[in-house]
Structure 1
Amino acid sequence: MAILNYAPSRYPYFDIVYQDESMLVLNKPSGLLTVPGKAPEHKDSLQLRVQRSFPTATIVHRLDMATSGLIVLALDMDSHRKISKAFELRQTAKSYIARVFGKLSEEQGSIDLPLICDWPNRPKQMVDHERGKKALTHWKRLACDNDESLVELTPITGRSHQLRVHMLSIGHPILGDRLYAHEQALQGANRLQLHAKSLKLNHPLTDEPMAFECPVPFSFKSQSVATDIDNN
């Protein structure tokens, strides 16, 4: 799908959650590419913005353009190698908050469905039991009504669009998802309601366990639930 009217906000230019000599942890806004797109008009990205102030910064992992939340950049090659290895070996832990279409009848569950690129419709992904790569997501319902549910999503694997396709696969697409949501779910929000809320990893230099969180920029119906999200 082409990026239409790409004009990410320039304030804040980038939002630092944590900084030291080895790494940066940032809160990426929805609507900003993690790395530059192919077209000149898609050059603006988190990577480009950060490298103007931190020339050695490199992207270790990515968030979809429409997804907001925590993302790590390394500031030297050794840190990049160690953090990348930690992601590869699943020695990191991430959790997301999402608003999804419809009422989830169960309190929690797991989605274990293999994913592969839907090549004729790229960048979309799809479930494929024969050729797909293993993908596992745990979910927990935080709140719900008859129209929508608020969930915490914990990806165990890190496939492209994993959370979006997995929630779609059980009949609860994420609200505001221009790639996967049906019309009613798409109209439920003016942006993808998916936010990388928490991240745990060991520091690449000291090996010290580190944990980061950033506030969820959307809420579920009431301020009381929004407060519960950030205290969860």
Structure 2
Amino acid sequence: MHIRETHFVAKNIHKSRLQEYGVGIFEGITSKSALKKAIKKKLIWVNGKEAFTATFISGGEKIEYLVDTQTPSKRLKLPLQVIFEDEYLAVINKPAGILVSGNKFLTIANALPQNLKISRAKDAVDPQPVHRLDYETTGLLLVGKTNSAIVALNQMFKNRAIKKTYLAVTIGEMRENGHISLPIDNKVASSSFSVIQSTLSDRFTYLNLVELQPQTGRRHQLRKHLYAIGNPILGDKLYFKDNLQLRGKGLYLHAYSLQFQHPISNNTMNFKAILPKKFYNIFPEFEL
């Protein structure tokens, strides 16, 4: 291993844990999950000693970010559909059945370097997703390619300046539109829905093509909210009514639209991803 970046902590700081202080101090580590991953791999050292997430930073420390020089035994081969790409960010169409990131080999994050061009920007980093999509969810995923873009996009998500719209197929009769405000894990969570089309179903009574807009970003928020109002998403293995679970077709939840201001150029960005074929098998006349 060799040192990739070094950070010197100011002496007059408020004492905090490394997992909080260390986010954003290195160009190659711009999120808490990325920091934890680097610490777990023993790539972060404080004052010449291996660091841990619970390590306290009180001022004056030297924090080093190392690079693992070992060559990976294998490279992930996973072609991804790239919707948009420039020097600072990219938008890809995530397939179903793949984790966005994590400790497993087969993840979107591990496949990004083989699918995206190397950024020529001065603060270029390894491309990394800046938000989550569930394992079975398909659709648009926003990726940062530079430190400044990743930091800006994370802040935009925090400020709710990025509009995400989903399409889902839900079960049961629904009112035309509505707003759901139900806490998730004791945290405020809110979502809006609008029914686009409905069709009769022998097994499910009604199936609905629904547009969804989450105002917060809790884990499984849309799935939990729709289940809570009695209209679970078709194909959901976790949140479903007895005898109304569809097996073998996957989750009918698709991130189909992203709208935001480009963090570098300030241009208005608007992307849409075509629905998977299984949606059109139920609603063949729908046009995106």
- What TM-score, normalized to structure 1? 0.80
Q: Tell me what 2:284 maps to.
A: 223
Q: For the Cα contact (< 8 Å) 1:137–1:153, is it kept in 2?
A: yes
Q: For the Cα contact (< 8 Å) 2:177–2:193, is it kept in 1?
A: yes
**1:188 Cα deviation from its structure 2 partner:** 6.4
Counterpart secondary structure, 2:244:
helix
Q: For the Cα contact (< 8 Å) 1:24–1:75, is it kept in 2?
A: yes
**1:185 Cα deviation from its structure 2 partner:** 3.3
Task: Using the TM superposition, name which of 186-195 and 57-66 deviates more.
Answer: 186-195
Q: For the Cα contact (< 8 Å) 2:79–2:115, is it kept in 1?
A: no
Q: Tell me what 1:18 maps to.
A: 84
Pick one of 194, 207, 224 that aligns with 2:266: 207
Q: Return closer, same or farther for 1:189/1:181 CA change in 2, 3 Å cut-off.
A: farther
State yes or no: 1:114 paired with 2:173: no
**Partners in 1 of 2:115 and 2:234 — Cα distance?**
34
- What TM-score, normalized to structure 2? 0.65
Q: For the Cα contact (< 8 Å) 1:174–1:185, is it kept in 2?
A: no
**1:69 Cα deviation from its structure 2 partner:** 0.3
Pick one of 139, 158, 175 that aligns with 1:88: 158
1:140-191 deviations in Å (ceiling 9; x for gaps): 0111133221110011111110000000000011011111123533216611
Structure 1: gaps of 5 or more residues? 1-9, 117-131
Describe how 1:70-149 pairs up with structure 2 within 5 A. Answer: 70-104=140-174, 106-116=175-185, 132-144=186-198, 145=200, 146-149=205-208
Considering only CA atoms, is the larger Rg found in Structure 1 or Structure 2?
2
> Which amino acid is the alignment partner of residue 51 of structure 1?
P
1:97-119 deviations in Å (ceiling 9; x for gaps): 00011121x11000001101xxx
State yes or no: 1:186 paired with 2:240: no
Q: For the Cα contact (< 8 Å) 1:98–1:193, is it kept in 2?
A: yes
**1:52 Cα deviation from its structure 2 partner:** 3.4
**Partners in 1 of 2:94 and 2:156 — Cα distance?**
21
Q: For the Cα contact (< 8 Å) 1:176–1:185, is it kept in 2?
A: no
Counterpart secondary structure, 2:114:
helix
**Partners in 2 of 1:53 and 1:108 — Cα distance?**
39
| CA root-mean-square deviation | 1.8
**1:48 Cα deviation from its structure 2 partner:** 0.3
Instruction: State percent identity of aligned pairs.
Output: 32
Q: For the Cα contact (< 8 Å) 2:77–2:111, is it kept in 1?
A: no
**Partners in 2 of 1:107 and 1:53 — Cα distance?**
40
**Partners in 1 of 2:86 and 2:269 — Cα distance?**
13
**1:216 Cα deviation from its structure 2 partner:** 1.0
Q: Tell me what 1:30 maps to.
A: 96
Structure 2: gaps of 5 or more residues? 1-75, 119-125
Q: For the Cα contact (< 8 Å) 2:100–2:132, is it kept in 1?
A: yes
**1:53 Cα deviation from its structure 2 partner:** 4.4
Q: Return closer, same or farther for 1:159/1:27 CA change in 2, 3 Å cut-off.
A: same
**Partners in 2 of 1:90 and 1:200 — Cα distance?**
11
Question: Higher relative CO (CA 8 A, sep ≥ 6), structure 1 or 2?
Answer: 1
> Which amino acid is the alignment partner of residue 110 of structure 1?
H
Pick one of 219, 227, 233 that aligns with 1:160: 219
Q: Return closer, same or farther for 1:115/1:220 CA change in 2, 3 Å cut-off.
A: farther
> Which amino acid is the alignment partner of residue 107 of structure 1?
E
